[in-house]
Amino acid sequence: MVSFILSSPRFLEVNCDLIRFAIPFTFATTLGLAAVALRDDPDMKVLSSADVSAGLPAPAAAAALLGKGGAVAILILLFLAVTSACSAELIASSSLLTYDVYVKYLNPKADEGQVLRMSHYMVSSFWVRGHQSH
């Protein structure tokens, strides 16, 4: 019973969401607290409530601590986090549909080439679906 629960897609999805939450939460909390601690520092930009709501304490704290390099580092980290999350979502969706639907129900005797091709189709279809919803 325990192995079934641990291997169920819903259990893995919830745990992956919790794991992905830890990094941005820690990152935002650390730099947010740094922004509060640097409030009286001359290098720290004074932030309005609109700036805080827009999520600018982290880049402002990084810029105050590391100069322009800190602001660039935040921009690069944000880009990498977004592309990584999108990639993980595409691969996970593709893998679930390929192995749990295509191989299990539609073509149980699929060879590696067919499975790989179907996986590529699934990634493409999820990418197109994601762009159509915006």
pLDDT digits (tens, 9 = 90+) for 43-99: 998 999 999 999 889 899 999 999 999 989 988 988 888 888 888 888 888 888 899
CA-CA distance, 132 to 6, in Å (whole number)? Answer: 34
Q: What distance, in Å, lies between the first and last C-alpha atoms of the chain?
A: 41
Three-state DSSP state, 5: helix
pTM of the model: 0.65
Average the pLDDT over each of 8-17, 89-98, 113-122 and give the range with the smallest value: 8-17
